Structure 1
Amino acid sequence: MKIFLLGGTKDSTNIIEFIKKNYEAYILTTTTTEYGAKLARECGSDDTIARPLLKDEIIEIILDGEFDILIDATHPFAEHITQTSATIAKELKIPYIRFERPITNLENIDTSRIHYVNSFVEAGKLIASEFSEGNVLHFAGANTMEDVLKYVSCERFYPRILKVPSSLEKCEELNVDPNHIIPMTGAASAEENIELIEKYDASVMITKESGEIGGVIDKIDAANKKDIAVIMIQRPVIKEVDKKDMASNLDELDYKLKKLFLKK
């Protein structure tokens, strides 16, 4: 089976390892960065493309490569590419799986410091009105900074980002102080988050509801221990994706792939 995998997440590298261990399959993984592509290759992806792709490019690659299935394992907040991939699969009439990590289970977590919003614009407005003192830790990626900085001063703003050219250019465009940039190499532990809160005298952190694999619980734990607020952006609901095409763990993915293999 030839698999076209939209990746760039920890989920996608787990999927590559799982499929390579359990199936005879060729995997082409696309990511937006060379760093993501490097991780995909290390996990066993047969080939990679390390740049954002337009809809027409994806269609051309799938048709030319005669791919059997499209798996979207991009971030839960990568709304545009998920909309695009679901639409492509329908147009090309090829099997489609949207792999999306489950929402974080906060049943036994103190959530009293969490403020839920639906967008980064809302996050910025909330900080401006409710958290005017102290600094802001932005744990939500470089591409989401602009909406927050419409309402929050750069002097208070400390983003944790991958130190790749595109992210650093974005910081420069938005006048983010280079000394405020916190290098990111993966999800931080609660202890590392506590150190950042203390080091930068933060009164609030911004995060996405990106699931346990995205380190959400460790962020909340750190915020609780240092008594600071968490502004959590809730996941977008993507109407183009049919629930029957979704998998939230490797067992569900395995079940769907086995059904496809049995058809052949």
Structure 2
Amino acid sequence: MSAVRRVLVLGGTGEARRLAARLDGNPSVKAISSLAGRVREPVLPVGQVRVGGFGGVDGLAQWLRDNEIDAVVDATHPFAARITANAAAATARVGVPLLVSRRPAWAPEPGDDWHVVPDLAAAAQAVAGLGERVFLTIGRQGVDAFADGAGWFLIRAIDPPDVRMPERAQLLLARGPFTVDDEVTLLKDHRIDVVVTKNSGGALTSAKLAAAREVGVPVVMVARTPIPEGIASTSDLDAAVVWAAEGELPLPN
């Protein structure tokens, strides 16, 4: 291992940017943030950044070797399952430690009407019995799971979907954070019957859940894919910073 610990941060999230900022001031760590490049105008972290895919497990493993990476922190979106699986396989192949850093998942609160489903296909089936006017807030990927839906869909995403959309749909391009008041207004103005979202967690887009609770609208919640077995993980940013710098997770208080 080199004197300066070289850490690859698989990012694209607010948590990854905060992690990169914390590591940027540590002289014993050289952090390199990697973005998938799926968003047209991403918010860039501080420090060194690379944009674009690695070419699957083989490409990532070779990149780790070529760049003499000492550790990898996967701080990608909780639903970036393929990236996490590739990171797990590539780091195991080259003998580099991996930490998955995930923001805590949302949990239902009193007054919520959540319908938890395992995937987007199940979500598309669930909305059929809950209402005609659907607020689809899952990002631009996976919208095609609802393409054959008979209802009307308000689709909110940062960039336009590049897959087939429902025939009766309105596209709303917007980037969070959103306020509860604005989300309540949106639900009422568009006469939304049901909200569909992924359990991404975090405060950036959680206002829609409070708004749905206030208005009395049910939420179809797509559950997260579990982190691969045997992979160290944390939902604590401070712990991720310590691990990236030192290689061990601190004991909880």
Shorter-chain TM-score: what band?
A: 0.7 to 0.9
Normalised by the size of structure 1, how large is the TM-score? 0.83
Tell me, in whole angstroms, the C-alpha distance in 2 between the residues paired with 1:181 and 1:52.
Answer: 31
- After TM superposition, list the pairs within 5 Å mapping 1:1-264 onto structure 2: 1-33=5-37, 35=39, 38-40=42-44, 43-51=45-53, 53-106=55-108, 109-128=109-128, 130-133=129-132, 135-150=133-148, 152-153=149-150, 156-163=152-159, 167-170=160-163, 173-174=164-165, 180-216=170-206, 218-238=207-227, 240-243=228-231, 245-260=232-247
Normalised by the size of structure 2, how large is the TM-score? 0.86
Could you say if the C-alpha distance between residues 111 and 80 of structure 1 is closer, same or farther in structure 2, counting changes exceeding 3 Å? farther
Tell me, in whole angstroms, the C-alpha distance in 2 between the residues paired with 1:37 and 1:181.
Answer: 18
Tell me, in whole angstroms, the C-alpha distance in 1 between the residues paired with 2:53 and 2:83.
Answer: 13
Tell me, in whole angstroms, the C-alpha distance in 2 between the residues paired with 1:246 and 1:23.
Answer: 24
Which amino acid is the alignment partner of residue 242 of structure 1?
A: G
Greater per-residue helix proportion: 1
Could you say if the C-alpha distance between residues 184 and 225 of structure 1 is closer, same or farther in structure 2, counting changes exceeding 3 Å? same
Tell me, in whole angstroms, the C-alpha distance in 2 between the residues paired with 1:207 and 1:219.
Answer: 9
Measured after TM superposition, the shift of residue 176 of structure 1 is 5.3
Could you say which residue in structure 1 is the equivalent of 2:251? none
Tell me, in whole angstroms, the C-alpha distance in 1 between the residues paired with 2:41 and 2:11.
Answer: 8
Q: Which moved more, 1:116-125 or 1:16-25?
A: 16-25
Measured after TM superposition, the shift of residue 54 of structure 1 is 2.2
Identify unmatched segments of 5+ residues in structure 2: 249-253
Could you say if the C-alpha distance between residues 147 and 35 of structure 1 is closer, same or farther in structure 2, counting changes exceeding 3 Å? closer
Aligned residues of 2:119 and 2:222 also touching (Cα < 8 A): yes
Measured after TM superposition, the shift of residue 137 of structure 1 is 0.6
Measured after TM superposition, the shift of residue 210 of structure 1 is 1.1
Measured after TM superposition, the shift of residue 45 of structure 1 is 2.6
Identity of aligned residues (%): 20
Measured after TM superposition, the shift of residue 2 of structure 1 is 1.5
Could you say if the C-alpha distance between residues 257 and 3 of structure 1 is closer, same or farther in structure 2, counting changes exceeding 3 Å? closer
Aligned residues of 2:10 and 2:74 also touching (Cα < 8 A): yes
Question: Number of residues paired by the alignment?
Answer: 244
Tell me, in whole angstroms, the C-alpha distance in 1 between the residues paired with 2:96 and 2:156.
Answer: 38
Which amino acid is the alignment partner of residue 124 of structure 1?
A: A
